[in-house]
Structure 1
């Protein structure tokens, strides 16, 4: 079924030439940051807005990856010996450079990814917050800590954290600044070296980050970038890394987890999601509608934590649906290197194919289209309208499979119990959103949702931006966490050093083992009575 008049506003397809900052010479200079042998084969990336060639990047071989790890390990030893206060200063200088040079980053992200400038700016904000947080908090997590010893007063116990060594960071194309820098920063400040494989499509942004970090004072060799398909260099990354941080698909995450398990190294995996939003019967309708727009369509829906399923309480359902569809149609779709556009382009042809296939499958099987539902080649090769569907059923592909595009399905629910049950009826568990006029009720509902982060009266930014708290997925959405203590300690090996003074657990000379056991038993009772932990 198709509702009428579902075409969103569009921005004029006016000047979509590359910004002045992205000259051929600048792009070529950035490309020299790739770790690859002289005369390496090159790959061409294309600008999503136009489909025109953007950059030619050297392609790394497995041998290049191995060489990168050799150099990284050599550099890491000196880097780990650098006092933490000096590593902190570099991160704070990097923070300042990101803010001061943000227009360069915004131009790069838009050119490579096709997102709007406002969505790109959120990545600048994210990396500034993350780099400041770990620079200011690293000592709290990494410096030696006294721990309670086995025998009070006689055992001195200290917890130490040593860097893992050389960390592999595999970052995706959808958030090229956040994912390139956000996971590298804590790994570096913890004293590790990083060998990173960004997605080739958005490698220029990662290379810009590397260039900026070196300008801030990071020694050469400590952070290196390699370019290539996972099928070509993924094995070399896994064979040489001491730890792996991966953001991407659940299917790829399973392979990385398997390979990491074979080598007995750690891995942190942020994977797919089919994220739900719940609108309870006491929610403010206007706020919930605006929240849904902000939740579903940032970066053209190409965001791991964006919402693809909306569950709305029946008393609000019809009014919410009408307002949400109308608001979606008002979104301005187009290409512009300024803040005038609401929704940008998809990034790759394969993503356009997935979005198109999911919507066409749903429509063919009886879904109702309330907004969007069309590719827009008149605007550019990869544009797709923000799309709202109802009457989506389990036999439709997008019902439970991640679309990763500007497409959302909306469902009525009787009460919060049904909303929670349906929100949890998925193998994924990355992010969720709850909307209500009662904060305590919202937090109670949130605690029952199977997701690593749940936002009350916000889409995803509240939890993501709370960098002092862990962020990651449950179930098929991944393993491990970024942000907070977990986000830096995962890059370290914990070590306990226990120094025993005077007397240990063995009987001293002249006392029989039986008598000694009795003395220790009485000591245990005394310690418990005294409230000692």
Structure 2
């Protein structure tokens, strides 16, 4: 049986003990299905108290110069790299993911901290805006913090989706309260430990552990903005609750992400990228590819190389850096993945590789699985599997591939493989997804921190990364100053005034753009 790192650490214990006299909830290690530790089961009253104390601390934080706030992000970036071994241990302990996948979370946080420390102050700077009367009026847009931001975070990337989302909110002058998934609270507590060693006021970052139905509603009601990452079904509930309270909300939801392999693609490269796209973090990645469409002239070659590379992957529920694919996070995930595969096979799909749970490796380990000839009525045709399971299908041409790729209620992420980059980029622009990689796996898009990332359709609203990833945590305010006579009807007949204004606008439209 696999062993896992301990989370019985003084750094975490001190944070857990901050909420006293509460019933506890047990956290299970996916690698062993044994108790890993326990955290308080906070109440709705705890959530409201957290918002209240965060609001009191937030004003002081917002009053600090943006350069001072950016310095905190620099500290965070350095700290996560300095503590990477400990953070990776915590991540592996409560997620069961492969060590390389856990390290990617640490790397992502460090990269986001560096990006927003460097670019964020510019995104928050006040900017001049043009006016209809540019000579006599002046308009300036300011960015103010929302106040208290609640982040409701899933279990698949419990460090990235805490800190990488919290950092732009903090830089913008907000306080942040995190409600982690029930199965992965220790990563959020580890994030709190990192921030505790910075100049951020203590109550400006808090973690409330417990059940989603208990803590979600009071956080949504009393916070000023909510960021949620998770299933589309739960996202609808969050959006409904936020709508009732007029709370700003950003949602990254489910996906059934497609990939297109064109006839002119480098098939070896596409097959290698497909393995990465499909099986990173055991497929438990919002932007993982779950369906591949290859043009028929290269389908067999792509299929055979993809299957061959997949069979070479090493499975494990351990801390060995050589492990390629780790465990699923829970019994519920294993049950869902198994059900999707069995349903597809029962309906006539063909199994190319994998297809089995591997309790000999770990209680929730499932083999990387490739299916083909999957009928349209199978569950995995349009339901997100969120595991190491993909389907590959042959299509006659690029147009058919595009049609199949867009035949989904989801629109989160996609990949295109083509030997002609311009053609690949053109096809990518026609895919109805918020992000698309050309000739590489999801990592190309994920690492593009200066490009917004999010979903279309049932994959959510709002964006993370880039300017949009920090502006969503701010309120825009326009201050317009009149430097000439007041803008009102002059003491002339209305008809004369209307004619003069119309003539002015016609003349303005004829000016070069830079003079308007």
Between the aligned partners of 1:140 and 1:332, the Cα distance in structure 2 is 45
3-state secondary structure, aligned to 1:200: coil
Which of 283, 286, 290 is the aligned partner of 1:301?
283
The alpha-carbon deviation at position 24 of structure 1 amounts to 5.1
Q: In the alignment, what sits opposite 2:437?
A: 455
In 2 relative to 1, CA 186–349 (structure 1 residues): closer, same or farther, beyond 3 Å? same
**Corresponding position: 1:17 with 2:11:** no
* Pair 1:179-2:161 in alignment: yes
1:354 aligns with 2:336: yes
The correspondence of residues 338-417 of structure 1 with structure 2, limited to 5 A, is 338-417=320-399
CA distance, structure 2, for counterparts of residue 141 and residue 69 of structure 1 = 26
Larger RCO of the pair (alpha carbons < 8 Å, separation 6+): 1
Give the corresponding residue for 2:14. Answer: 29
Between the aligned partners of 1:399 and 1:152, the Cα distance in structure 2 is 55
Inter-partner Cα distance in structure 1 for 2:503 and 2:14: 72
Query: What is aligned with 1:522?
Result: 503
Q: C-alpha distance in 2, partners of 1:391/1:362? A: 9
Q: Deviations for 1:407-466, whole angstroms, at most 9, x for unmatched residues?
A: 001100110000000000000000000001110010011001010000001121111111
Aligned-residue offset at 1:514: 3.9
Shift of 1:363: 1.3
Post-superposition shift, 1:502? Answer: 2.1
Cα gap change, 1:499/1:26 in structure 2, threshold over 3 Å: closer, same or farther? closer
1:3 maps to none
State how far apart, in whole Å, the 2-side matches of 1:362 and 1:149 are: 60
Q: Are 2:26 and 2:35, in contact at CA under 8 Å, matched by a contact in 1?
A: yes
Cα shift at 1:69: 0.5
What is the match of residue 122 of structure 2? 140
Gaps of 5+ in 2: none
Q: C-alpha deviations, 1:82-121, integer Å up to 9, x for none?
A: 1101000011011111111111111111111011111111
Q: What is the CA distance between 1:26 and its match in structure 2? A: 4.8
Give secondary structure in 1 for the equivalent of 2:31.
coil
Structure 2 residue 246 is matched with structure 1 residue 260: no
**1:362-410 per-position Cα deviation (integer Å, ceiling 9, x unaligned):** 1111111111111111111111010011110112111111100000011
Deviations 1:44-63 (A, max 9, x none): 10111111211110111000
Q: 1:5 matched to which residue of 2?
A: none
Q: Where in structure 2 are the equivalents of 1:26-425 lying within 5 Å?
A: 26-32=11-17, 36=19, 38-425=20-407
Distance across 2 between alignment mates of 1:134 and 1:213: 16
Unaligned runs of 5+ in 1: 1-12
Alpha-carbon separation, structure 2, partners of 1:327 and 1:516: 75
Contact 2:257 2:412 in 1 (8 A): yes
User: Displacement, 1:511?
Assistant: 4.1
Matched, 1:426 2:408: yes
* Preserved contact between residue 147 and residue 159 of structure 1 (Cα < 8 Å): yes
State how many pairs are aligned.
514
CA distance in structure 2 between the partners assigned to 1:25 and 1:513 by the alignment: 76
Change (3 A) 1:347 1:398: same
What's the TM-score once normalised by structure 1's chain length?
Answer: 0.94
Whole-Å separation in 1 of the counterparts to 2:316 and 2:278: 17
Root-mean-square deviation (CA), in Å? 1.4
Secondary structure, aligned partner of 2:410 = coil
State whether residues 7 and 186 of structure 2, in contact with CA within 8 Å, keep that contact through their aligned partners in structure 1.
Answer: no
Q: Offset at 1:27?
A: 4.5
Deviation at 1:505, TM superposition (A): 2.6
Instruction: Report the alpha carbon displacement of residue 241 of structure 1 after superposing the two structures with TM.
Output: 1.2
Aligned match of 2:451 in 469, 492, 509? 469
Query: What are the Cα deviations for residues 455-479 of structure 1, in whole angstroms up to 9, with x where unaligned?
Result: 0011211111111110000000000
Q: Within 1, Cα distance between the matches of 2:352 and 2:499?
A: 78
Secondary structure, aligned partner of 1:216: coil
2:411 match: secondary structure: coil
